[in-house]
Chains A and B, each alone.
Chain A
Amino acid sequence: MAFPNVRLASRPLHFIYVCDCSGSMEAQGKIESLNQAIRQSLPGMAAVARDNPEARVLVRALRFADRAAWHIPTPTPVEDLEWVDLQAGGVTAMGEALELLAAELRSPPMEQRALPPVLVLISDGQPTDDFEAGLAALMAEPWARRAVRLAIAMGHDADGEVLQRFIGSDPARGSAGGALPPGEVPGASGEMPRHGPGRSPRRPLQAANATTLARYIQWASTAVVGAASSSASRLADAAASQEAVPLPDLPPTELDPLDEPDPLKW
């Protein structure tokens, strides 16, 4: 009997950049560095997608300044993506961006069989609108809670607290219920972050220069995409405390972001 006329399909993997395009991103050429880093990461992401044909990597981008808007509104296969440069100017409507993001993570339009999406928030400043409302709207969506949520802080003016709250707490490492380490903040769930000191993908990634930014963008678009392409089951009773996707090791950077004393070098 011939194979039936059914639609077999790889599982969509949505990768969404959420980019701060406020006026401060114009300083020191940060917006140019961000555009360049993303553009340069695309071939690597496409190669990972080719190596994992069971996942259909679809890229979108959201920008926020005075208002939030979709920069690349259509989920675009990475091999077809042509990056159009972001432009900086305005304030930091991060909350509105998260609300826009939440709307796209509803099901539908999210596919029932999608892989956990990858959300990358990149910012150099502090929200100027209602971040709380935006985060609440986002985290109300099951797909957002399942998502791999990463944050990159460009420079030292980025609000680490809001970026950490976007990421949520680190479920994989100890000290739940203990006192917060210096500089730590509760995650979106209200739980204490469980990661220890040092770099962690479950903490905002501090990009103090263009090179580090490029490495983090490359890491997110290749290693993380590769990990997210390989779905593995998790235990149902531990789902809330398990990462949706085991995150790969961070790339080496020129300077340890925790104790980096140097000024920005963009």
Chain B
Amino acid sequence: MNPTPSSGEPAMLRRWLVAGVCSRRGSAHRRRGQPCQDASLQRAFTLPGGLPLTLLAVADGHGGQAYHHSDVGSALACEVAAEVVAAALARLPVGTAPPAGADLMALRRWLAEDLPIALQQRWLTAVRQHWLAGSGGGEGGVPFSPVPYGSTLGLLLLTPRWWALTGLGDWDLVRVDPAGAAELLSQEVAAPGAGEATASLCQEGAAQGGWFRSRVWPLEDQVLPFSLVLCTDGIRKSCASDADFLALAAWLAAGPDPGAAHPGAPHPDTAHPAIGGSDTGEGGVGVDAFLAEGLDRISAEGCGDDVSVAIGRWQAGAAAVPPSDSSAATVPAPDPRPHLQEPPLAAVPLLLTGGLALLIGLALGQRLPLASAPAPAASPPRPGLPPAGREPLRREVGRLCGDPALLVPSLHTRHSQVQGLRRGTLRPETLLIDSARDPLGALIAASFLEHRREAGRLNGLQDEMFSFGLCPALRSALGSLWLPATPPAIHPAMAPTSNRPSP
């Protein structure tokens, strides 16, 4: 896939590209003559400072007799999401640096509190209007209820300086790196025995009741390329295992080969063409057909449910600064920070083998000898980890070594990361790069790399970790993760926690 920028915005602003948005009627619904109850949407906005914001949305109507208007409910969910975000643009961070401090707190609060309330209120208004307009099925004498319109809603908000998720229900979000390693970033955590139960916009007080899950990630220029795959539950439930699901998400993120034969014919089963992905076009010729064919196959060979996906791609590129003719009050100077450009895909194996020590050195703010870690020749100088990344590591080491009783319960919660590293579905550098936000994940990744390398190759890393006061108990617990048998510190019964709480 070779997405191209659109809408006349400067290319430097378009590091986020929409690689596809699509909803497809599931094979079971097709056979029964039922409509697609999924919906999806892409919408582009411009923040007051000139930065672009892209909204991606997927929604899944509940289906079943009790939710007989859920096709309308899911479509309206996507539409009102666009309306609500459009109305809130003035409240969002518009600076040319990643939001921090009060700006970041305000953004988090908006995502976790104000946006959910506005979304649900606007959705309730919209479905009531639909019902009053008589297209609600003519339920004569039956008082209005939003339940028949019940739907989930998952949103991604993508800007050059931050990206965020919010929403409620059983959608999944997967992050995929250019090498194809995929990581589940967000999922609905169901109570045991909950079955098909999911949070819904039609639930009274859903916005205030903790059903929404929200999170924001500030973006530095040097953040390596990655893709985000937001999908309704029909895709994951069609896969035999989560490993299959992650592999499928990576495939969807990669998209079609350039020039591959996906004729882009009209797709009568694409839900709500004005909302779904068929008219978005940004992903390039053939993307819609690629997604339509892929989603149809997933549903037909899987659970038969409707399926939706929205894919955003953070690309390698120049620093994202507003254009000089933007409406920003001030024109920022070009970002003087060195850029960590992603090497071409062919160079990734080199990074994964010869460059591991350098990568760890990057994560821990220490450059290791080039003799053991040659960088790709074309790579620019790597920056050290920002101070914001070192201090969390130091604090985490202090926390765990200060109270070894925390070791087992803390590592228990990282089963998914351990398994992902073991299986190769999670790249250690993903965790290392993220050490500011998830220092324990970075420690696990560093331990994994240490385990994978020959003795003596990572002395620098060990020294660095010891400089943080890495105690024997923590070293031992981390090392035990990689023993051949089931890691003693990680009980397999513990639920994975890839859906960590919002910061």
Is B60 in contact with chain A by the CB < 8 A criterion?
Answer: yes
Query: Is the pair B28, A11 in contact by a Cβ cutoff of 8 Å?
Result: no
Cβ-defined partner of B198 (8 Å) among A8, A146, A235 = A235
Query: Is the pair B254, A233 in contact by a Cβ cutoff of 8 Å?
Result: no
Chain A residues in 8 Å Cβ range of B305 = 54, 231
What is the CB-to-nearest-CB distance from B467 to chain A, in angstroms, rounded to a whole number? Answer: 42
Chain B residues in 8 Å Cβ range of A27 = none
Query: Is the pair A6, B244 in contact by a Cβ cutoff of 8 Å?
Result: yes
Quick one: CB contact mask for A1-42 with B, threshold 8 Å, 1 for yes? 101111111110000000000000000000000000000000
Chain A residues in 8 Å Cβ range of B147 = 235
Query: Is the pair A233, B241 in contact by a Cβ cutoff of 8 Å?
Result: no
Query: Is the pair A7, B28 in contact by a Cβ cutoff of 8 Å?
Result: no
Is B150 in contact with chain A by the CB < 8 A criterion?
Answer: yes
CA distance A113 to B242 in the complex (A): 10
CA distance A145 to B150 in the complex (A): 24
Is A52 in contact with chain B by the CB < 8 A criterion?
Answer: yes
Is B75 in contact with chain A by the CB < 8 A criterion?
Answer: no
CA distance A6 to B246 in the complex (A): 9
Between A3, A7, A146, A233, the greatest number of chain B beta carbons within 10 A of the residue's beta carbon is seen for: A233
Quick one: CB contact mask for B218-242 with A, threshold 8 Å, 1 for yes? 0000000000000000000111110
- CB contact list, B173-197 vs A, under 8 A: 190-197
CA distance A139 to B213 in the complex (A): 30
Residue on A with the closest CB to B168? A236
Cβ-defined partner of A246 (8 Å) among B64, B203, B302 = B64
Is B200 in contact with chain A by the CB < 8 A criterion?
Answer: yes
Chain A residues in 8 Å Cβ range of B196 = 116, 231-234, 244
Residue on A with the closest CB to B198? A233
Is B301 in contact with chain A by the CB < 8 A criterion?
Answer: yes
**With A233-B62, A246-B64 given, is the CB distance from A7 to B240 under 8 Å?**
yes
Chain A residues in 8 Å Cβ range of B209 = 237
Is B144 in contact with chain A by the CB < 8 A criterion?
Answer: no
Residue on A with the closest CB to B188? A236
Query: Is the pair A230, B28 in contact by a Cβ cutoff of 8 Å?
Result: yes
Cβ-defined partner of B28 (8 Å) among A1, A6, A54, A113 = A54
CA distance A53 to B63 in the complex (A): 18
Is B247 in contact with chain A by the CB < 8 A criterion?
Answer: yes
Which of B255-263, B343-351, B472-480 is the interface stretch? B255-263
Between B60, B65, B147, B192, the greatest number of chain A beta carbons within 10 A of the residue's beta carbon is seen for: B192
Chain B residues in 8 Å Cβ range of A1 = 251, 254-257, 260
Query: Is the pair B244, A232 in contact by a Cβ cutoff of 8 Å?
Result: no
Between A54, A143, A231, A242, the greatest number of chain B beta carbons within 10 A of the residue's beta carbon is seen for: A54
**With A142-B193, A232-B67 given, is the CB distance from A8 to B254 under 8 Å?**
no
Is A264 in contact with chain B by the CB < 8 A criterion?
Answer: no
Chain A residues in 8 Å Cβ range of B244 = 6-8
Is A255 in contact with chain B by the CB < 8 A criterion?
Answer: no
Is B294 in contact with chain A by the CB < 8 A criterion?
Answer: yes
Quick one: CB contact mask for A229-266 with B, threshold 8 Å, 1 for yes? 01111111111001010100000000000000000000
Chain A interface secondary structure, helix, strand, loop or mixed?
loop
Chain B residues in 8 Å Cβ range of A10 = 301-304
Cβ-defined partner of A233 (8 Å) among B150, B239, B248, B251 = B150
Is B375 in contact with chain A by the CB < 8 A criterion?
Answer: no
Between A4, A6, A54, A232, the greatest number of chain B beta carbons within 10 A of the residue's beta carbon is seen for: A6
Chain B residues in 8 Å Cβ range of A236 = 190-191, 194, 197-200, 203, 211
Interface size of B as a range: 35 or more
Is B202 in contact with chain A by the CB < 8 A criterion?
Answer: yes
Chain A residues in 8 Å Cβ range of B304 = 10, 52-54
Chain A residues in 8 Å Cβ range of B203 = 235-237
Is B27 in contact with chain A by the CB < 8 A criterion?
Answer: yes
CA distance A15 to B260 in the complex (A): 44
**With A3-B294, A143-B193, A244-B195 given, is the CB distance from A235 to B303 under 8 Å?**
no
- CB contact list, A89-128 vs B, under 8 A: 113, 116
Is B298 in contact with chain A by the CB < 8 A criterion?
Answer: yes
**With A9-B302, A232-B62 given, is the CB distance from A4 to B195 under 8 Å?**
no
Is B172 in contact with chain A by the CB < 8 A criterion?
Answer: no
What is the CB-to-nearest-CB distance from B103 to chain A, in angstroms, rounded to a whole number? Answer: 33
Is B297 in contact with chain A by the CB < 8 A criterion?
Answer: yes
Chain B residues in 8 Å Cβ range of A9 = 238-240, 301-302
Query: Is the pair B256, A234 in contact by a Cβ cutoff of 8 Å?
Result: no
CA distance A7 to B194 in the complex (A): 25
Quick one: CB contact mask for A48-84 with B, threshold 8 Å, 1 for yes? 0000111000000000000000000000000000000
Residue on A with the closest CB to B250? A4
Chain B residues in 8 Å Cβ range of A242 = 197
Residue on A with the closest CB to B205? A237
Is B170 in contact with chain A by the CB < 8 A criterion?
Answer: yes
Cβ-defined partner of B303 (8 Å) among A4, A5, A54, A116 = A54
Chain B residues in 8 Å Cβ range of A231 = 196, 303, 305
Residue on B with the closest CB to A51? B31
CA distance A233 to B491 in the complex (A): 30
CA distance A260 to B62 in the complex (A): 41
Chain B residues in 8 Å Cβ range of A239 = 191, 193-195, 197
What is the CB-to-nearest-CB distance from A191 to chain B, in angstroms, rounded to a whole number? Answer: 16
Query: Is the pair B237, A11 in contact by a Cβ cutoff of 8 Å?
Result: yes
- CB contact list, A185-229 vs B, under 8 A: none
- CB contact list, B131-169 vs A, under 8 A: 147, 150, 152
A sample of 16 cross-chain residue pairs with beta-carbon separation below 8 angstroms, ordered by A number, consists of A1-B255, A3-B294, A4-B247, A6-B245, A7-B241, A9-B302, A10-B303, A10-B304, A52-B28, A230-B63, A234-B196, A235-B150, A236-B191, A237-B209, A239-B194, A244-B195
Supplied contacts A113-B239, A237-B203, 9 more A-B pairs, CB within 8 Å = A1-B251, A1-B257, A5-B247, A8-B297, A52-B304, A113-B240, A232-B62, A232-B64, A233-B67
Q: What residues of chain A have their CB less than 8 Å away from a CB belonging to chain B?
A: 1, 3-11, 52-54, 113, 116, 142-143, 145-146, 230-239, 242, 244, 246
Chain A to chain B: the 4 pairs with minimum beta-carbon distance, closest first: A54-B304, A232-B64, A142-B193, A239-B197
